Amino acid sequence: MISKDYHGYYLDEALVDVERVIGRVRVAGKVEQAEFITGFGVIRTEIFNLLERYSLEPTHKIGNEGTIIVIIE
């Protein structure tokens, strides 16, 4: 499982990093679960939207809405 914590990141840095993660998984031809720890600010909303634009199905972690869970394929 991939786990990334975006506390302390600027929005653009976080989005670029998530795109890198998606790219690495897809280029490798793998299927991996990823956990993106975002807190409750704009980064959370924008990462969620970015994942949907990549045709993925993100959800918020049960018990911790500041974390996004997604299967990358």
- Is residue 47 within 8 Å of residue 6, measured between CB atoms? yes
In this prediction, residues 28-36 reach a mean pLDDT of: 96
Any idea where the domains of the chain sit in the sequence?
Answer: 16-72
Q: pLDDT grade, residue 29 (50/70/90)? A: very high
Q: Which two tokens stand for residue 65?
A: 């809405």
Assign 17 a pLDDT band (cuts: 50, 70, 90): very high
- Report CA dihedral (33, 16, 39, 37) to the nearest 10 degrees: 30
Q: What is the pLDDT of residues 35-61, one digit of tens each?
A: 999 999 999 999 999 999 999 999 999
Class for domain 16-72, per CATH? alpha beta
